[in-house]
Amino acid sequence: MSAPNASGWKPTAPQANDEAGPATTTGNRALMLEEKLIFEIGGSETTGVDLPEPRGDAPHRLGAQLRTGEIGLPGLSEPEAVRHYTRLSRQNYAIDLGLFPLGSCTMKHNPRLNEKVARMPGFLDCHPLAPVHTVQGALAVIHELGEWLKALTGMPAVAMSPKAGAHGELCGILAIRAALEARGDARQVILCPESAHGTNPATAAFAGYKVEDIPATAEGRVDLAALKARLGPDVAGVMITNPNTCGLFERDFREIADAVHAAGGLVYCDGANFNAIVGRVRPGDLGVDAMHINLHKTFSTPHGGGGPGSGPVVFSEALAPFAPLPFVEKLASGEYRLVEEETAEDHHARSFGRMTAFHGQMGMFTRALTYILSHGADGLRQVAEDAVLNANYILRSLDDVLDAPFGLSGPCMHEALFSDKGFAGGLTTLDLAKGMIDEGFHPMTMYFPLVVHGAMLVEPTETESKAALDQFVTAMRSLAERARAGDETLKQAPYYAPRRRLDETLAARKPVLAWHAPAAPAGMPTLSEQGGS
Ligand SMILES: Cc1ncc(COP(=O)(O)O)c(C=O)c1O
């Protein structure tokens, strides 16, 4: 192994005016270490591996592809590379460090058992083009997971191929369009309540529909009267998030669905928040025609972790014939078939087509099925109950110091919603969120949903203990009291993070996403000359 890279550490000038204590010569703060880019710490003269010189005619076989200069990748010894990524990981917040109030939408606890099963070679090495008779076990997993999703939602059909929640929404809306077109009905409007998730109107618009808003009531739910008044022959359907983004169950869902059906439309439910009701409510009983399920939110898979995520869609009888291909079918012989083509006798003869080139995301399917089988139906119901209990514990522990706009009208579902009402001295939700970083918590969802001023949406999820919730509540109470007292020091928070306040506008408007190599020594091509950045 070659000598360690000499170009790494240089003393940095002590930082002036540091309110969090005296500056250090390294820029490090206790055991939190400053970290440069890997291109800055790795030099081209160093490498972590010793490879023999190519022998024989190997270089000649490369022809014109033979490189004439350095490729410009940083060379590091193994410990340098390991330390670089470990230091970076310590500057991040993780679900394995503590409560993560962004909740299941971003990351909830992924049981280690899921990981063990997902890494079993038969699943891990499964290739989408493998002959079907060699992947019967994988097809069995896809089929069994689909059967669970149908049973838990009370819906007769399922499409397993969509690769995320938003992709599932598109799948559902395309099936709705195919069903309407099949009856020669060219309706053009999709209604989205204000309390719907942002992806809902985006999906409808992407699919070519005109999107119209339906207002929310003072209670944070769909305004039933306004929705009924807008229904008509141009309305293809509604997209409703239930439980909604205010963390509330849409109690009028059945009545809404009946009214939409009576007006000739179809009902899409954004089922991302199914984790709050799984085992207690079957959306099929509420009149839903299509609903996606975010496997990461309800069934504890990583959110698109290390590859595509998964957003299966369940369908009503009315939409089942239009569901996408391919799908897995269990034959009477007990074998599994992957149906890739429409056939005249097939009940999918009117499929709208494909969502993806290949069927499924094995890593997500194996994790989700492991989670389902390790909990069973009763355990899944308890998951939902614990998620709701934890959110209500937070709601009631904070509603005397933080305004809870819909808290008076009853309990919430899996998310507790607060507003910035009562903050003094020009302090904002952002200031409180920055203060949370100093208290050792990642901030919660902020400024969403839009129907609430300075919204703070906290989703603790089902796995947090009372001790963890109490610690979070203690930190939030102190921050809320400082915000109500107009404590100026919050405006400068965070004090203890590796970076203080960044310019959020510039970061969003002019992000610098590429690193450009400094001028190369004479004779050596720069990265950009080699097409790198
Ligand atoms: C209510 C809701 N709808 C849709 C989505 C979009 O899902 P995805 O991020 O998997 O595309 C999310 C995100 O988790 C969500 O919370």
Going from N- to C-terminal start, the domains of the chain cover: 114-126+135-369
DSSP for 105-142, written as a single string: GT-----HHHHHHHTSHHHHT--TTS-GGG-HHHHHHH
Could you tell me the pLDDT band of residue 522, with boundaries at 50, 70 and 90? low
Which residue matches tokens 């970061």? 507
What's the confidence (pLDDT) of residue 8? 46
Element (H, E) at 389: helix 362-398
Q: Please report the pLDDT score of residue 17 as a whole number.
A: 45
On whether the pTM is more than 0.85, the answer is: yes
Instruction: Report the alpha-carbon distance of residue 333 to residue 293 in Å, rounded.
Output: 30
Tell me the pLDDT band of 527, cut-offs 50, 70 and 90.
very low
Output the CA 272–ligand 1 centroid distance in Å.
6
Is 532's pLDDT higher than 50?
A: no
Q: What is the average per-residue pLDDT within 264-278?
A: 97
Predicted confidence (pLDDT) per residue in 112-164, tens digit = 999 999 999 999 999 989 999 999 999 999 999 999 999 999 999 999 999 99
- Secondary structure string (H, E, C) spanning 417-437: EEECCCCCCCCCHHHHHHHHH
Determine how many CB atoms are found less than 10 A away from the CB of residue 206. Answer: 13
Ligand 1: which atom is nearest the Cα of residue 294?
Answer: 10
Q: Stretch 392-410: mean pLDDT, rounded?
A: 93
* Substitution site in 199, 298, 299 for ligand 1 pocket (most atoms within 8 Å of beta carbon): 199
* Cα distance between residue 533 and residue 527, in whole Å: 6
Q: Taking CB atoms and a 6 Å cutoff, what residues make up the pocket around ligand 1? A: 105, 164-166, 197, 199, 241, 270, 272-273, 294, 297, 309, 311
pLDDT per residue over 427-458, tens digit each? 999 999 999 999 999 999 999 999 899 999 99
Shortest-distance Cα residue to atom 5 of ligand 1: 165
Q: Which overall architecture, per CATH, does domain 114-126+135-369 show?
A: 3-Layer(aba) Sandwich (3.40)
* 75-104 pLDDT, tens digit each: 898 999 999 999 999 888 889 999 999 998
- The residue contributing the CA closest to ligand 1 atom 6 is 165
